[in-house]
A and B are shown apart, each in its own frame.
Chain A
Amino acid sequence: MSTCKILIAGFGGQGVLFSGKVLAYTGLTLDKEVSWLPSYGPEMRGGTANCSVTVSSEQIGSPIVSEPDLLIAMNQPSFDKYCEETSDNSIIVYDSALISTEFKSNDKVKVFEIPATRLASDNDLPGLANMIILGKSVKESGVFTKDQVFDAMKKLVSSKKPELLEKNIKALELGFNY
């Protein structure tokens, strides 16, 4: 990996920004260059929210991701907006519980689905669809290994809240194994 540009998009409240933070933080723990840029303003109060993450072994130029190597789509408008704007050799992972599409893998992009929101409610992991889809995305993109993300997550989630860490890890694992 020299540079991986990631765009995570969905509704405000789905944990889009936190997913991005987990990726950026994982990069930090591996001594990579990283940048994390959120959308801010009215959209984070209920509308669409997205976040650009770049992980690189070199210094990062623009932190704005317009042609992602990895697109994580968590709602229909985000998928429709960005699915045709990914880079060559890119990966799209989308929440099939919330998004319906005819869009298929082609020469340029590999598309993966995971019903993250349904898996979250089926497994008593309310609000953790973001971690489920993140697990799947990390696995399919190979941007990090499973252990790298888990180790970072352990450092990121406060040790004062072990039950929170446990649930996040469980959700990530669910995504990895899907």
Chain B
Amino acid sequence: MSEKVLMKGNEALAEAAIMAGCKHYFGYPITPQTEVAAYMAKKMPKVGGVFLQAESEVSAINMVIGVAATGKRAMTSSSSPGISLKSEGISYLAGCELPALIVNVQRGGPGLGGIQPSQSDYYQATKGGGHGDYKLIVLAPNSVQEMVDLTFKGFDLAEKYRMPAMLLCDGTMGQMMEPVLLNQGEIKTYDKSWATTGTGNHEGRNVVNSLSLNPEELEVWNHRRYDRYKIAQENDVMYEEYLMDDAEICIVAFGIASRVSKNAINQARAKGIKVGMIRPITLWPFPEKVLKKASEKCKAFISVELNMGQMIDDVRLAIECSKPVYLCNRTGGMIMSPEEVLASIIKANGGNE
């Protein structure tokens, strides 16, 4: 398709997954991501794929593990409380070194929380919601177009590094409509000689497993995985810079918070305040180097987030606490206004308008 169409984020990402070759979707309904499952239910049978509404989130993620072990592209989607339920399975995917795409269209928490947009699963996504030493590729779209592009990217990076990838969205990204180009994108192929597809063509057998009762062996496995993580950190960091050339104040924001921040930055620029933004697109690997570099010029940072302050830790670590980092936040499903971000910018500018 070469023409732009008007689509909801949830539907656009579902279509993108199918276009990226995903023929296996397992889910369980929850607001505000239900349109993903609804789209898959309608579309998968038409393309010879599988849509299966599992009896629970735990079940859905284990079905993903099963398909991923065969080397096929598999995905699941949910919203915050559902991702907590899937976290055991996500840890197993990481332990088994399996690629898969997990979509989290976040809502306010903790517990059952609410259904309005939130970014309060940042820690869960980037620090490991499940147990053990592992990381996820975490991609944070801020437009419907990026919901599509990063779905392709998520499958690609997952297979490149043999690790699960998460698309970390929020309710607004899932629910909003924007013009979107459903470009096919390049689908790269990676070696999948590890896949459990039967012994027909080779001697011996492949085993997909995360269990080792031999600590020497398990330590080797963990190091092997972290060696790959290191390569991802070197090669696949994604971010966008906005008006950073002469910026004295640097906003760090992702997803919907970055859209609101952009309005505030334009308002502040009109007042003559030199402010810009670094928007992480990969939350893991986090864009540490560009932030560290920005800290040489900028006098202050502002982390704008829809949570009680989670990414702010990574900003402080990246700049080694060399400059003050302020927090501009709303939580529980509330979204800050551009005026609230502007007030933070003025505060970070020493109160000077």
CB-based nearest B residue for A33: B179
Dominant secondary structure of chain B at its interface with chain A: mixed
Note all chain A residues with C-beta closer than 8 A to B5: 28
Note all chain A residues with C-beta closer than 8 A to B256: 62-63
Q: Which of B116, B172, B176, B263 contacts A61 (CB 8 A)?
A: B263
Q: Is B260's CB within 8 Å of the partner chain A?
A: yes
CB pair B4–A37 under 8 Å, yes or no, is no
Cα distance A41–B105 when bound, in Å? 14
CB interface residues, B 220-262, toward A, < 8 Å: 256, 259-260, 262
User: Nearest Cβ distance between residue A30 and chain B, in whole angstroms?
Assistant: 11
Dominant secondary structure of chain A at its interface with chain B: mixed
With A28-B179, A37-B172, A41-B116: A62-B6 Cβ-Cβ less than 8 Å: no
CB pair A21–B31 under 8 Å, yes or no, is no
Q: Is A138's CB within 8 Å of the partner chain B?
A: no
Interface 0/1 of A7-39, CB less than 8 Å to B: 000000000000001001100100001111110
Q: Which of A34, A41, A66 contacts B178 (CB 8 A)?
A: A34
Cα distance A35–B178 when bound, in Å? 5
CB pair B32–A21 under 8 Å, yes or no, is no
Interface 0/1 of A51-77, CB less than 8 Å to B: 000000000111110100000000000
Note all chain B residues with C-beta closer than 8 A to A63: 172, 176, 178, 256, 259
CB pair A66–B6 under 8 Å, yes or no, is no
CB pair B266–A61 under 8 Å, yes or no, is yes
With A21-B177, A66-B337: A40-B171 Cβ-Cβ less than 8 Å: yes
Q: Is B338's CB within 8 Å of the partner chain A?
A: yes
Note all chain B residues with C-beta closer than 8 A to A61: 259-260, 262-263, 266, 338
Cα distance A37–B6 when bound, in Å? 12
With A62-B262, A63-B259, A64-B260: A37-B335 Cβ-Cβ less than 8 Å: no
Cα distance A131–B344 when bound, in Å? 41
Interface 0/1 of B309-335, CB less than 8 Å to A: 000000000000000000000000001
Cα distance A63–B171 when bound, in Å? 12
Note all chain A residues with C-beta closer than 8 A to B263: 61-62
Q: Which of A25, A40, A64 contacts B6 (CB 8 A)?
A: A25
Cα distance A25–B338 when bound, in Å? 26
CB pair A64–B115 under 8 Å, yes or no, is no
CB-based nearest A residue for B4: A28
Q: Is B104's CB within 8 Å of the partner chain A?
A: no
Note all chain B residues with C-beta closer than 8 A to A38: 175-176
Q: Which of B115, B179, B337 contacts A41 (CB 8 A)?
A: B115
Q: Which of A28, A37, A66 contacts B176 (CB 8 A)?
A: A37
CB pair A40–B32 under 8 Å, yes or no, is yes
Cα distance A64–B255 when bound, in Å? 13
Cα distance A61–B256 when bound, in Å? 9
CB interface residues, B 1-20, toward A, < 8 Å: 4-6
Given A63-B172, A63-B178, A64-B335, 19 new contacts (CB under 8 A): A21-B177, A24-B177, A28-B4, A28-B6, A28-B179, A33-B179, A34-B178, A36-B6, A36-B176, A37-B175, A37-B177, A40-B171, A61-B259, A61-B260, A61-B338, A63-B176, A63-B256, A63-B259, A64-B337
By a beta-carbon cutoff of 8 Å, the part of chain B in contact with chain A is 4-6, 31-32, 115-116, 171-172, 175-179, 256, 259-260, 262-263, 266, 335, 337-338
By a beta-carbon cutoff of 8 Å, the part of chain A in contact with chain B is 21, 24-25, 28, 33-38, 40-41, 60-64, 66
14 A-B contact pairs sorted by A residue (CB < 8 Å): A33-B179, A35-B176, A36-B176, A37-B175, A37-B177, A40-B115, A41-B31, A60-B259, A61-B263, A62-B260, A63-B256, A63-B259, A64-B172, A64-B335
